[in-house]
Amino acid sequence: MGVTEKEKSTKDAAALETQQSPEDFDQPSPLRKIISVASIAAGVQFGWALQLSLLTPYVQLLGIPHKWSSLIWLCGPVSGMIVQPIVGFHSDRCTSRFGRRRPFIATGAVLVAVAVFLIGYAADLGSKMGDKLEEKVKVRAIGIFALGFWILDVANNTLQGPCRAFLADLAAGDAKRTRVANAFFSFFMAVGNVLGYAAGSYTNLHRMFPFTRTKACDIYCANLKTCFFLSITLLLIVTVTSLWYVKDKQWSPPARNPDEDEKTSGVPLFGEIFGAFKVMKRPMWMLLIVTALNWIAWFPFLLFDTDWMGREVYGGDSDGNERSKKLYSLGVQSGAMGLMFNSIVLGFMSLGVEWIGRKIGGAKRLWGIVNFILAAGLAMTVLVTKLANDHRETAGQLAGPSSGIKAGALSLFAVLGIPLAITFSTPFALASIFSSSSGAGQGLSLGVLNLAIVIPQMIVSLGGGPFDALFGGGNLPAFIVGAIAAAISGVLALTVLPSPPPDAPALKTGAMGFH
């Protein structure tokens, strides 16, 4: 009888491990399966890191003026505000035999591959379609690039939402396993960032694939192609491996009467989100204001940091002569290295957010302090730019920055990883805490918080370039506005933002990650 019980226990454990029956999905999945799904974040974030470090300079090489290049980034907030909620809503209700999440994740990976091909080969395809190599503005190449870029952002959002939801499914409501899943997702995001920025900072990467350099595609363009090839290879490997290894539960809609089906048809998500504004209380409103100002400060730097290195620090010009273009390219590569340092600091800082918050006196005080660090860092770009200009006046306009100036600029990138870690965690944690008194549920509160992120991004994307042009071009005007917004955000965080309970559990499990 003992043997029988032992055999039964063994069979039950094996069934739980392989998740062959519907009942097994009600139990938390093994850690290795959660890690496998979380690893998809590395492939997704690899692509995001390449976007942030290389694509703004690339669109200028295709002929889009600097003051209008920020418009390309509109697809990020638009897709984040529309695509991800819709995909998440429908993935909750997908009845595919492959499960609820896996079809969307696989579709997103395929769309990423298509988008990467269009972006990387925009110059070549534009040339084949009639663009002249001597033309400054390559209209066809720009159109192909814009199409690919929008598809890429839609694809990344199609991937990210179901991937996070899949992790929640695998945790099966277990709080500890949910925290572990989010921690691994954040870890792989940091891995993807480091890989992306490291690839973007290496100037001879195109030698791995010599065919990437063509008459229409110079060294910089060839490096971008190679980076994207590596990105899609990593994404496809981790995605195929995870979707093959980890099973997904097939969802069957619960039985409803016809009246309920009619009432719940369509996509009510957006109406619910905007309706939440009517019942929000003061703590959530203050959080939205501080968050919006915080992201108005961040987005100019996140969008134009590598361009700042190429133009203001290195003195290059993407529209200049060959020497000036080379300087600009070197600056962009150096900026990508700075972003890699930023990601390393961000990763280590994220691990200590809770401990540091307790030592300083709470989450809102920590957020306020690091906003002043952000303001100081953005203001320091003015000093670094002035030192670089002074150096060129004595050493020559094409001399490039001194080693000290370069080290100062890279140090600035690294230091800004400290406030970025808080930005990626504290607002989400506070939204979870305040949701109990906001009049809306936690999910709606986080949905509303997302609007405080994407709306500032749209403002910066629409107005950043033209605003810089009013002051003679360059990136400093937007950086200065960002510094002012960060300082105001810090003051509001310290003064009007309510303090959460010191032992609030949501703060310990706050989200670490961003799109």
User: Which of the pair, 400 or 267, is modelled with greater confidence?
Assistant: 400
Q: Is the pLDDT of residue 342 over 70?
A: yes
Q: Is the pLDDT of residue 20 over 50?
A: no
Percent of the chain scored above 90 by pLDDT? Answer: 13
Mapped onto helix, strand or coil, the DSSP state of residue 21 is coil
Please give the model's pTM, rounded to 2 decimal places. 0.68
**Residue 318 — pLDDT band, cuts 50, 70, 90?**
confident
Structure tokens at 92: 């909750």
Please give the pLDDT value at position 498. 80
Mean pLDDT of the chain: 76
User: What average pLDDT does range 296-315 have in this prediction?
Assistant: 87
Ranking 119-133, 257-271, 298-312, 469-483 by mean pLDDT, the lowest is 257-271
User: pLDDT digit string (tens) for 184-233?
Assistant: 777 787 788 888 877 766 777 777 878 877 777 777 778 888 888 888 88
User: Which of the pair, 123 or 179, is modelled with greater confidence?
Assistant: 123
Please give the pLDDT value at position 435. 61
User: Which of the pair, 353 or 57, is modelled with greater confidence?
Assistant: 353
Return the C-alpha torsion angle 201, 202, 203, 208, nearest 10: -140
CA gap 87, 104 in Å, rounded: 8
User: Which of the pair, 293 or 340, is modelled with greater confidence?
Assistant: 293
User: Look-up: residue for tokens 């035999």?
Assistant: 97
**Residue 513 — pLDDT band, cuts 50, 70, 90?**
very low
Q: In terms of Cα–Cα distance, which of 198, 150, 173, 149 is closest to 42?
A: 198
Structure tokens at 139: 């209209």
Structural contact between residues 192 and 41, judged by C-beta atoms closer than 8 angstroms: yes
User: Which of the pair, 13 or 386, is modelled with greater confidence?
Assistant: 386
Q: Is the pLDDT of residue 33 over 80?
A: yes
Q: Is the pLDDT of residue 337 over 50?
A: yes
Please give the pLDDT value at position 484. 95
Ranking 125-129, 293-297, 351-355, 468-472 by mean pLDDT, the lowest is 468-472
Please give the pLDDT value at position 322. 80
Mapped onto helix, strand or coil, the DSSP state of residue 137 is coil
Structural contact between residues 436 and 284, judged by C-beta atoms closer than 8 angstroms: no
